[in-house]
Amino acid sequence: MKTLILSLLLLSFSGMANAQAGAWATYVPPVERAKTQTEQLKKELQLNDSQAKKVYTINLKINQKYDEVNSGGHTDYQYAINKIGNERDALMEDVLNGKQYLKYIRIR
């Protein structure tokens, strides 16, 4: 479970660290990050196929937003990142059942 948390955090914020360093040497496109995140969540939360498709859509949308923020132009970077994370949590709450959502919150 700790590995999942670390993986999700690294995937979500990998672009952020690279953007701050001025290089996208290890850039992973939003589609690939969304696939990896969804596969991990499907396993950890025991998502059904319908939930997995919705979670993939959420992950893709959120990862695209992270890329937009990481590309610059935001006056309050941390606020923008937190806002996107809160949006992801709200969207996930609509897709997951109560037990899954509680576990998602613990492992995110």
Give the pLDDT confidence of 55-96 residue by residue, as tens digits: 999 999 999 999 999 888 778 999 999 999 999 999 999 999
Provide the CA 72 distance to its chain's centre, in angstroms.
19
DSSP, res 25: T
Range of the domain at 64: 2-107
Q: Is 40 helix (H, G, I), strand (E, B) or coil?
A: helix
More confidently predicted of 7 and 84? 84
Residue 97 Cα distances to 49, 64, 102, 106, angstroms: 14, 25, 9, 14
Backbone angles phi, psi at 47, to 5 degrees: -75, 145
> Would the pLDDT of 104 be above 80?
yes
Specify whether the CB–CB gap between 15 and 32 falls below 8 A: no
Residue 33 Cα distances to 22, 75, 82, angstroms: 20, 25, 18
Q: What's the number of domains the chain is made of?
A: 1
